[in-house]
A and B are shown apart, each in its own frame.
Chain A
Amino acid sequence: MTVVDRDVAVEEPASDHSGLTFARVLRAEWVRFRSLRSTWITLAVTVVFVIGLGALFTAARAAHWPPRDPGEALSFDPTRASLGGAFLAQLATGVLGVLLVTGEYSTGMIRATFTAVPRRLAVLTARVLVFAAVSLLVLVPTCIVAFVLGQHLLSPKHIQTDFSAPGVTRAVFGAALYLVAIGLLGVALGWLLRHTAGAIAVLVALLLIIEILVHLLPSPWPDRIAPYLPAEAGQALWTIKPDPHTLAPWTGFGVLMLYVATSLIAAALLLHRRDV
């Protein structure tokens, strides 16, 4: 191999154009995001869950229509049924968010990351922005496809709806927003806990387990607490026929975003203070 016969380490004049800028950190985060195969696989899984399960739920509903219980027919929400895949897909986006951070800690990449960019908050902010932008770009069309396909599958029984019905547009975009928010919760948990398994465990606890436990409480506590849990609050945004206790759509989503913002701020404070 040639050793030192080539002048690779040529002196370049250090100019103002040679240093760190937030735009460059943002660009680096995009290169970082897209250059891992696992990122795209997890995103693809999310898409398959939303569209595939939505189709499955609506097809099964249409096959067994009308239901024996007339109350059930009255409360049927075709929009929500077609977006039902998001219940499982939220775990995929959450895990994606976690992995974007903990994958760096488990491999040691984080040391290279913070050596290149010692401004840790810039890295955190850029990663949040890139994740939010990319997942929104993927998930908005995904939710539209799931909705359109679901309504098509419901149409033989004439129980479908369309974008002109009140709340439908909000719900379809809302499901995408909800999935992105859960992913951001995963990002925050990744920064806070720095371990994949721990962060995923806490995520599942926040989304599913606490809700189950709350519903074991004696009445009236479940109805008072459950609407404010992150998942239930956020799901208000893509619900058209809410329970009496469900928060208003944007109020509910605001509560979820409060969880996200709080955990991101806590993560930023800790990241600034802790050793890598």
Chain B
Amino acid sequence: MIELVGLTKRYGSKVAVDDLTVTVPPGVVTGFLGPNGAGKSTTMRLILGLDHPTSGTARINGRQYSALGAPLREVGALLEARSLHAGRTARNHLRVLAATHGISTSRVDELLEFVGLTDVANKRVGAFSLGMGQRLGVAAALLGDPSVLLLDEPANGLDPEGMRWIRHLLSRLATEGRTVFVSSHVMSEMQQIAEHLVVIGRGQLIADCPVEEFVARGTGQKVRVRSPQLAELVARLRDEGCRVDEERNAVEVSGLTVEAIGELAARHQIVLHELTPVGASLEEAFMQVTSDSVEYHGVEQQA
């Protein structure tokens, strides 16, 4: 369990994380979503005690990170920025971390095998691809068999097979009752991985809800309509104040329910060939909900 209460981080006049209050529960994969620069990585660093909050607290299993007696056994972290010394071998990298908690070398070898790096265990990590680096990072996060996992953009640099691997791993870890908090900017990926979402923009909380609820909240429902009398139907729909996006031989209508469109067509004796509700994607919902903060950033950078 991760609890953030009023978590705030300022760098000079810039607010990176703004009064964030969130509880990340165990047993599900919680996605952490936000546009670039929204404060996701800063939040992760604050949770791990790498940065000190300006105000507010971040607690893991009820305690601040710095107060944990065995941090690697309670929290496993994979940060977005590389956290390896290029001159050390994969095996030695893990051994350095393992030694701080008296974790055995056999556990290190076990994890190297688990993430598929046994063959390159004695190669220096400077020569590793991004994907291999991520696998090593996952191994490091799992060293102490922690109950809480924090992963910042874990799919970065992974090939499709690696992505599938990470997805299965995370959902299995959550099923085992662990807290899994994972950030990503790739929305489609998040839709597949996460059950619950925490969305931030400009450091502020935008949403904290199940994925489906967030998707529904975003663009709302659209309805796809085909008709041989399309031009007439579009005119009637526009009279009702609907937004109509025209496609090749169909339209997408927002602002009316399926039932209301069907009744409208019947009233005007318009033949319908298709009347389908279309679910918005997480990506669309995300773009809509965070558009304010993204635009703001654009303006800020130009100024």
Please report A residues at the B interface, Cβ cutoff 8 Å: 1, 3-4, 6, 8-12, 14, 17-21, 24-25, 27-28, 31-32, 35-38, 103-104, 107-112, 114-119, 273, 275-276
Q: Is B95 an interface residue (CB 8 A)?
A: yes
Query: Of all chain A residues, which has the CB nearest B79?
Result: A111
When distances are taken between beta carbons in the complex, the residues of chain A under 8 Å from B70 are 14, 18-20
CB contacts (< 8 Å) of A116 on chain B: these are 71-72, 97, 100-101
How many angstroms from the CA of A176 to the CA of B79 in the assembled complex? 41
Interface members, chain B 220-259 (any A CB < 8 Å): none
Judge if B99 is at the interface, Cβ distance under 8 Å. yes
Complex Cα–Cα for A14 and B225 (A): 59
CA distance A38 to B102 in the complex (A): 26
A-B residue pairs in contact (CB < 8 Å), sample of 26: A1-B161, A8-B110, A8-B142, A9-B145, A18-B70, A18-B102, A21-B102, A24-B99, A24-B102, A27-B99, A107-B84, A107-B86, A108-B79, A108-B83, A109-B84, A111-B50, A111-B83, A112-B84, A114-B49, A114-B50, A116-B100, A116-B101, A117-B100, A273-B52, A275-B51, A276-B50
Chain B interface size range: 35 or more
Residue numbers of B with Cβ under 8 A of A are: 45, 48-52, 65-66, 68-75, 77, 79, 81-89, 92-93, 95-97, 99-102, 110-111, 114, 116, 140, 142, 144-145, 161, 164-165, 168-169, 172-173, 176
A11 touches B145 (CB 8 A): yes
Let me know if A109 and B85 touch, CB within 8 A: yes
Please state if B99 and A108 are interface contacts (CB–CB under 8 Å).
no
Verify B101–A18 contact, CB threshold 8 A: yes
Number of A-B contacts (CB under 8 A): 126
The CA-CA distance from A28 to B96 in the complex, in Å, is 5
**Residues of chain A within 8 A of B77, CB atoms compared:** 115
B114 near A6: Cβ-Cβ < 8 Å: yes
In the complex, the 3 A-B pairs of residues with the closest C-beta atoms, listed nearest first = A19-B70, A28-B99, A35-B92
Chain A residue contacts of B173, Cβ below 8 A: 9
A-B contact sample (7 more), CB < 8 A, given A108-B83, A114-B50, A118-B68:
A1-B116, A8-B111, A19-B101, A25-B100, A104-B85, A112-B97, A115-B75
- With a cutoff of 8 Å between Cβ atoms, the chain A residues found around residue B87 in the complex are 36-38, 103, 107
Is A9's CB under 8 angstroms from B176's CB? yes
The answer to whether B101 and A36 have CB atoms under 8 Å apart is: no
In angstroms, how far is the closest chain A Cβ from the Cβ of B177? 9
Nearest chain A CB to B41 CB, angstrom units: 11
CA distance A165 to B66 in the complex (A): 54
Contact of A36 with B102 at beta-carbon distance under 8 Å, contacts A8-B111, A19-B69, A31-B96 already known: no
Once bound together, how far apart are the Cα atoms of A112 and B82, in whole Å? Answer: 9
Nearest CB in chain B to that of A38: its residue? B87
Q: Are A103 and B51 neighbours in the complex by a CB distance under 8 Å? A: no
Could you say which of A4, A19, A108 contacts B81, with CB atoms under 8 Å apart?
A: A108
Q: Is the CB of A31 within 8 A of B168?
A: no
**Which A residues touch B116, using CB under 8 A?**
1
Q: How far is the CA of A266 from the CA of B71 in the complex (A)?
A: 27
The CA of A219 and the CA of B139, in the complex, are separated in Å by 64
Decide if A31 touches B49 in the complex (CB within 8 Å). Answer: no
Residues of B contacting A14 in the complex (Cβ-Cβ under 8 angstroms)? 70, 73-74
Residues of A within 8 A of B99 (CB): 24, 27-28, 31
Residue of B nearest to A122 (CB): B100
Candidates A18, A108, A117; contact of B82 at CB < 8 Å:
A108
Residues of A within 8 A of B110 (CB): 8
Q: Output the residue of A114, A115, A273 with the most chain B CB within 10 A.
A: A115
Known: A14-B73, A20-B69. A36 touches B168 (CB 8 A): no
Tell me whether A28 and B100 are in contact in the complex, defined as CB-CB below 8 angstroms, given that A9-B176, A18-B73, A20-B70 are known contacts. Answer: yes
Residues of A close to B92: CB separation below 8 A = 31, 35
